[in-house]
Amino acid sequence: MINFNVPPYAEKAMGYIQECVKNQKICGDGLYTKKCSEWIEKKTGTAKCLLTTSCTHATELAALLVPDIGPGDEVIMPAYTFVSTADAFVLRGAVPVFVDIRPDTMNIDEKLIEDAVTERTRAIVPVHYAGVACEMDTIMDIANRHHLAVIEDAAQGIMASYKGKALGTIGDFGCFSFHETKNYSSGEGGALLIRDEKNVEEAEIIREKGTNRSKFYRGQVDKYTWINYGSSYLPSDMNAAYLYAQLEIAEEINDARLAIWNRYYESLSPLAEAGKIELPMVPEGCVHNGHMFYLKAKDIEERTALIDYLKSNEIHSVFHYVPLHTAPAGLKFGRFHGEDRYTTKESERLMRLPMYYGLKLDQVDYICETLRKFYQ
């Protein structure tokens, strides 16, 4: 069976974890947490990176940092996303206002956002699907004119960029995921990227249970105390050690994923040209990271048949997401603004092919050949 995903692993991880254990230093904000944050800061150019226990938690932390986001406030986002994008704001009592996506990138349609802005809108949450950037110039312009915060759900976007800027660094806050299904993983983990220095101190406090312990560790205060509300969003240093080994070879992992992506794209282009399937589109100015390779079948029936056919040929492929506005919690907490022209229709056609660091190009060839057989 060719798996859909195999979590990334780098050789040096074992030694790094052993070092944490031997030194009995496994709590949060240790050596490897520092190394990971500094690596991300250097690589992306963000003012500050704070490692978190997940991207979900990074988004929660961001939601707590947007001034006065509370009951009845509105947050604009696509319905075609993972639940965490909405959960972080629903926890604050805010209403997710779902806007339709563009069928070419599956990202929020930037042209429909402004019409969804009301008196109660506080933030926009673009999701960079498959590591392909949303149209950030337009989104930032709307946000600036209406004084809205922008929180980038860049869970899939590490190592990708928009017009030369790393994803996660363009909005006020950016959120990365290191879940085992992502390009770099610590099993469970994430990071919050903070664009402006002025938001760093409050973020550190909220992440450390509402205390100024981060300042205390740096020797900037001689005792620490309860300053604000907060929670605990620090991962164990063992998780960071596992992650750091991958970050050290980030380029190699990225190149390998792009090689797989390009092989799929080239091999499947004839099927796309024959009008059998649709392939992903990467707009000009966007550099992606090979996070995902998807294709679109004609409709949901064909997709189901295709997934079954691949399975019978030992290939595991998957689909996602069920649009949030059609889910029980989405119906309860959110609303869809405007017409659902593409969100549901396109989500029903999309399927993801195996993609992971370590997948062999001849396995990709076999998958493509199997797809061609299905369409013969």
Ligand X SMILES: *Cc1c(COP(=O)(O)O)cnc(C)c1O
The binding site for ligand X (CB under 6 A) comprises 54-56, 81-82, 84-85, 127, 153, 155-156, 177, 179, 190
Of the pair 54, 214, the CB lying nearest ligand X is at 54
Of the pair 121, 183, the CB lying nearest ligand X is at 183
**Least CB distance to ligand X at residue 187 (A):** 10
Q: Please answer whether residues 132 and 280 qualify as being in contact, where contact means their C-beta atoms are separated by less than 8 angstroms.
A: yes
CA–CA dist 193, 211 (Å, integer): 20
**Least CB distance to ligand X at residue 321 (A):** 8
**Least CB distance to ligand X at residue 95 (A):** 19
Of the pair 140, 292, the CB lying nearest ligand X is at 292
Give the CA distances from residue 265 to residues 2, 32, 270, 372, in Å, rounded to whole numbers and listed in that order: 18, 37, 9, 13
**Least CB distance to ligand X at residue 159 (A):** 15
Of the pair 16, 129, the CB lying nearest ligand X is at 129
Of the pair 149, 175, the CB lying nearest ligand X is at 175
Tokens of 371: 């797809």
Q: Please answer whether residues 214 and 205 qualify as being in contact, where contact means their C-beta atoms are separated by less than 8 angstroms.
A: yes
Q: Please answer whether residues 343 and 79 qualify as being in contact, where contact means their C-beta atoms are separated by less than 8 angstroms.
A: yes
Give the CA distances from residue 192 to residues 29, 34, 109, 268, in Å, rounded to whole numbers and listed in that order: 14, 14, 24, 36
Our separate counts of H helices and E strands in the chain read 13, 13
Q: CA angle, corner 51, sides to 248 and 61, nearest 5?
A: 150
**Least CB distance to ligand X at residue 130 (A):** 9
